[in-house]
Amino acid sequence: MEEIIILDFYGQYNQLIARRVRECNVFCEILPFNTPVEKIKEKNPKGIIFTGGPASVYLENSPKCDEKIFELGIPILGICYGMQLMTYMLKGEVKRAYKREFGEVDVNIDNRSLLFNGLENVNKCLMSHMDYVENLPNGFEKIGWTSDCKFAGMQDIKNNFYGIQFHPEVNHTNNGIKIIRNFLYNICNCSGTWKMNSFGDEQISAIRQKIGDGKAVCALSGGVDSSVAAAIINKAIGKNLTCIFVDHGLLRKNEAEEVEEIFTKQFDVNFIKIDAKERFLNKLSGVDNPEEKRKIIGEEFIRVFEEEGKKLGKIDYLVQGTIYPDVIESGVGVGAKIKSHHNVGGLPEYVDFKEIIEPLRNLFKDEVRKVGEELGLPKSLVYRQPFPGPGLAIRVIGDITEKKLEILREADFIFREEIANTKLDKELNQYFAVLTNLKSVGVMGDERTYDYTIALRAVTTSDFMTATWSKIPYDVLEKVSTRIVNEVSHVNRVVYDITSKPPATIEWE
Ligand code: XMP
């Protein structure tokens, strides 16, 4: 089977690179940057991709690959740090810039290069770098540049070495997938025969084998990830699975009732709802640090599942709907820690289960949805907008009180209702209200008010690793704002968040 090796230099987006390669029907594996060259050779790859990464190549301890990799005669594409590393190791020059180049930048490209075949002369690309290539190594020529970066792309066609300073793997780069496809097909001569086998069926039989007659509880939130995970385990072990839905008091308006309705009426599973509002809110009382909130919630979830598991008899396995972005952004294994997703970085050290099973741990949201559809889950559930495990705790900025939660629930309900009324829910991938910790002066009915500011957030995204703020029509925003200020006590101002991810994240905490 033809294969591409992705060498991991701790970039935030390296799983996305793998995703894109697989989307082009080429199998790929991610290996650590220091994989010995003999091991790479054994795999006989058609090409190698160096990922980006946060380090600087000229520092002593920065990650570097085996030099002999450049003697294998295999095409190499270096992305961002990967391009800088290629430059440095092949005796070009890399320097530190005074100013970081960040965001969607117009990159001029030489589309006679095989890498840029079929692209326009100017292409919007996501740049995110401090270091830059000052001098190309021998044998290389320039194939891309911007007003701030004189070498945004380079090639050595004799050796099939290519470097790009921008990130083709993210949606913010126009035609990024074309560039990756060009590398795979035009430069590595891949034929694209790999197809993702039926993931759901494979997981079902693997889990059936692993759990056998054992029992499992599934942490169900009613969102797509945990529902798909539950469906896989349910098909594998039937009634030996019990789904536990914890109402931690941080849910949206009517959410607990809706989830209960779906799982008791539409599914044939053991379902238990636990009212844990008081214990979660007590633990969170007075806590305003986002990471601390996440860790408290992650731990408390596990304690509730352990206690409930014990009541059910001997339970060996806890099933979670963890997906790949939760893993990456929690900074486990690769990448820098952005925030501890409650089910990964937020987990306590000791967990009283034999094992935690996470069938979706390597998948992105859109892949999870595909599996959900394959398994026959209702579309309304599969295409539900995501709701994070820590719930409204990370949407009430600062410390959490019952009163603040109530304000947020009402404002969020109005926003969601208006989005549904205008049918924008089909276009937006995630939309919600945030209760900022900011009070400001207003005037209502000739009276001075001093009340909270609600922020509205809406994004379009396919993978939730990057996202673009949504251009909701002004009249819809106006209606939402008017309704919130009129209908929700203690709110006198509504603002709209117009930042994409990066540089912001989707949730505020
Ligand atoms: P951010 O805020 O990191 O969010 O851009 C990316 C996606 O992940 C969701 N999210 C979480 N989901 N547990 C979850 O189950 C968490 O701790 C968590 N934090 C963020 C977020 O809603 C968005 O869809």
Position 125 pLDDT exceeds 70? yes
Question: Which uninterrupted H or E stretch holds 85?
Answer: helix 81-89
With beta carbons less than 8 A apart as the criterion, state whether 56 and 62 touch. Answer: yes
Hey, what are 90's tokens? Answer: 């092949």
Which atom of ligand 1 sits closest to the CA of residue 467?
5
The pLDDT of residue 438: 97
Hey, what are 125's tokens? Answer: 């690309």
Of 350 and 276, which is predicted with more confidence? 276
For the segment 53-58, the average pLDDT, to the nearest whole number, is: 93
Which positions ≥6 away from 270 have C-beta within 8 Å?
A: 239, 241, 242, 243
pTM, two decimal places:
0.72
Q: What percent of the chain has pLDDT over 70?
A: 98
Of 212-221, 228-237, 334-343, the one with minimum mean pLDDT is 334-343
For the segment 48-70, the average pLDDT, to the nearest whole number, is: 95
- Ligand 1 mean position to 181 CA, how many Å? 30
The pLDDT of residue 333: 53
With beta carbons less than 8 A apart as the criterion, state whether 6 and 77 touch. Answer: no
The pLDDT of residue 198: 62
Position 196 pLDDT exceeds 60? no
3-187 with 196-382: one CATH topology?
yes
CA distances from 180 to 5, 6, 184 (A): 13, 12, 6
Q: Is 373 a catalytic residue?
A: no
Hey, what are 355's tokens? Answer: 């094992």
Q: How confident is the model at residue 99 (pLDDT cuts 50, 70, 90)?
A: confident
DSSP state of 160: T
For the segment 163-181, the average pLDDT, to the nearest whole number, is: 95
Parallel, antiparallel, or unpaired for β 27-32 and 3-8? parallel
Tell me how far apart the alpha carbons of residues 51 and 80 are, in angstroms, rounded to a whole number: 7
Q: At what angle are helices 365-374 and 199-211 packed, to 10 degrees?
A: 80
With beta carbons less than 8 A apart as the criterion, state whether 400 and 393 touch. Answer: yes
Q: How confident is the model at residue 303 (pLDDT cuts 50, 70, 90)?
A: very high
Helix (H, G, I), strand (E, B) or coil at 496: strand
Position 448 pLDDT exceeds 70? yes
With beta carbons less than 8 A apart as the criterion, state whether 81 and 9 touch. Answer: yes
- Ligand 1 mean position to 450 CA, how many Å? 31
Which candidate in 24, 129, 167, 299 is catalytic? 167
Hey, what are 68's tokens? Answer: 């002999």
The pLDDT of residue 11: 87
The pLDDT of residue 374: 86
- State yes or no: cis peptide before 290, omega within 30 of 0: no
The pLDDT of residue 16: 86
Which candidate in 24, 28, 80, 188 is catalytic? 80
Q: How confident is the model at residue 335 (pLDDT cuts 50, 70, 90)?
A: low
Of 120-129, 370-379, 390-399, the one with minimum mean pLDDT is 370-379
Q: How confident is the model at residue 434 (pLDDT cuts 50, 70, 90)?
A: very high
Taking CA atoms only, the protein residue closest to ligand 1 atom 12 is 388
Which atom of ligand 1 sits closest to the CA of residue 387?
22
Taking CA atoms only, the protein residue closest to ligand 1 atom 11 is 388
Which candidate in 2, 169, 367, 410 is catalytic? 169
Position 334 pLDDT exceeds 70? no
Average pLDDT, the chain: 92
Q: Is 80 a catalytic residue?
A: yes
State the CB neighbour count (10 A cutoff) for residue 105: 21
Q: How confident is the model at residue 226 (pLDDT cuts 50, 70, 90)?
A: very high
- Ligand 1 mean position to 339 CA, how many Å? 9
DSSP state of 34: T
AA letter at 37 = V
CATH no. for 196-382: 3.40.50.620
Domain boundaries, the chain: 3-187, 196-382, 395-496
Tell me how far apart the alpha carbons of residues 466 and 114 are, in angstroms, rounded to a whole number: 27
Dihedral angle sign, alpha carbons of residues 329, 4, 136, 116: negative
Which atom of ligand 1 sits closest to the CA of residue 322?
15
The pLDDT of residue 239: 92
Pocket of ligand 1 (CB under 6 A): 294, 325-326, 329, 339, 341-343, 386, 388-390, 430, 464, 501, 505-507
The pLDDT of residue 130: 86
- Ligand 1 mean position to 458 CA, how many Å? 14
Parallel, antiparallel, or unpaired for β 27-32 and 47-50? unpaired
The pLDDT of residue 309: 87
For the segment 430-450, the average pLDDT, to the nearest whole number, is: 95
Evaluate whether the domain defined by 3-187 bears CATH number 3.40.50.880. Answer: yes
Domain made up of 395-496: CATH architecture: 2-Layer Sandwich (3.30)
AA letter at 234 = N
Q: Which residue in this structure is represented by tokens 């987990």?
A: 347
How many residues are listed for the chain in this entry? 509
Q: Is 169 a catalytic residue?
A: yes
With beta carbons less than 8 A apart as the criterion, state whether 110 and 142 touch. Answer: yes
Which positions ≥6 away from 46 have C-beta within 8 Å?
A: 2, 3, 4, 26, 74, 75, 184, 188, 189, 190
